[in-house]
Amino acid sequence: MKTEIISVDKNVDEKESYEQAVEIIRNGEVVAFPTETVYGLGADATNWEAVNKIFEAKGRPADNPLIVHVDSKETALTYVQEVSAKALQCMDAFWPGALTLIMQAKPETFAGNVTANLETVGVRVPNHPVALKLLQELKLPLAAPSANTSGKPSPTLAEHVYHDMDGKIPLILDGGPTEIGIESTVLDTTCEPPVILRPGKVSKQELENVIGTVRLSSDNKNNTPKSPGMKYMHYAPAAPLYLIENEEGLIEKAIEYVRGKGKRVAVISKEEYPEADFNFPLSMATLYASLRKCDSTDADLILASVETGGKMDEALMNRLEKAADHKWFS
**pLDDT tens by residue, 65-112:** 999 999 999 999 999 999 999 999 999 999 999 999 999 999 999 999
Mean pLDDT confidence for 164-190: 97
- Which of the four pLDDT bands, split at 50, 70 and 90, describes residue 60? confident
> What pLDDT score does 11 carry?
47
pTM confidence score: 0.92
CA of residue 257 relative to chain centroid, distance: 34
By C-alpha distance, which of 38, 107, 89 is closest to 67? 38
> What pLDDT score does 223 carry?
52
10 compared with 155, residue with greater pLDDT: 155
Mean pLDDT confidence for 7-32: 85
Distance CA 74, CA 76 (A): 5
Residue 319 pLDDT > 70: yes
> What pLDDT score does 224 carry?
58
For the chain, the average pLDDT equals 93
- Which of the four pLDDT bands, split at 50, 70 and 90, describes residue 230? low
Residue 271 pLDDT > 80: yes
Distance CA 307, CA 312 (A): 5
